[in-house]
């Protein structure tokens, strides 16, 4: 009986130690970088695209309430963050930002035969008198982003 008790005690302690060790394999760290803290909670959408050897991530991040400056409105503008990365173990990467856009829709990657990707989207130009809906096309590579 004593052997059974010792065996069960050792088994219980071993299982407890294994379970305890496994539960500590995930660590949670508080983020203190103020730029990251400002972006992450305000992500409105995230899109991923691939073009040849490039990975492209587009984050739409909302700005503060009322940033659209519309009379008697709390409408917000958004910033687009465009991350471009090589498909490699140690990739070269870059990030571009377009500020204060309103009403972004239809973010997509267009077909391109070149090594550069073409990203397009629509937004509402709040300063235009007529034809407020505008399309933007951006030629992207690792080093630059240019409106075309």
Q: Which residue has the tokens 């730029």?
A: 35
Q: What is the pLDDT of residues 41-69, one digit of tens each?
A: 999 999 999 999 999 999 999 998 878 87
Question: Is residue 23 scored above 90 in pLDDT?
Answer: no
Specify the range with the lowest mean pLDDT, choosing from 24-28, 32-36, 120-124. Answer: 24-28
Q: Give one word for 66, left, alpha or beta, with left for phi > 0 and alpha for psi -120 to 50.
A: left
Q: What is the DSSP string of 46-88?
A: EEEEEETTEEEEEEEEE--TTTT--TT-----EEEEEEEEESS
Question: Is residue 19 scored above 80 in pLDDT?
Answer: no
Q: Could you tell me where the beta strands, DSSP code E, fall in the chain? A: 43-51, 54-62, 78-86, 93-101, 105-110, 117-124, 133-140, 145-147
Give domain limits for the chain: 34-147
Quote the pLDDT of residue 127: 85
Contacts 24+ apart (CB under 8 A), 61-65: 63/100
Q: What is the pLDDT of residues 73-104, one digit of tens each?
A: 888 999 999 999 998 889 999 999 999 999 99
Question: Is residue 147 scored above 70 in pLDDT?
Answer: yes
In this prediction the pTM is: 0.77
Q: What is the pLDDT of residues 118-129, one digit of tens each?
A: 999 999 998 888
Residues 6+ apart with CB under 8 A from 130: none
């Amino acid at each position: 009986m004593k052997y059974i008790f010792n065996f069960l005690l050792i088994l219980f302690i071993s299982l407890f130690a294994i379970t305890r060790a496994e539960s500590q394999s995930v660590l949670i760290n508080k983020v203190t970088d103020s730029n990251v803290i400002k972006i992450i909670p305000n992500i409105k959408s995230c899109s991923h695209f691939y073009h040849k050897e490039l990975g492209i991530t587009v984050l739409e991040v909302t700005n503060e309430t009322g940033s659209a400056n519309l009379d008697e409105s709390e409408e917000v503008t958004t910033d687009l963050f465009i991350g471009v990365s090589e498909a490699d173990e140690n990739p070269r990467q870059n990030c571009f930002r377009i500020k204060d856009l309103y009403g972004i829709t239809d973010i997509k990657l267009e077909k391109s035969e070149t090594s550069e990707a073409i990203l397009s989207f629509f937004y509402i130009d709040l300063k235009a008198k007529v034809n407020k809906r505008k399309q933007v096309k951006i030629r992207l590579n690792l080093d630059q982003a240019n409106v075309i």
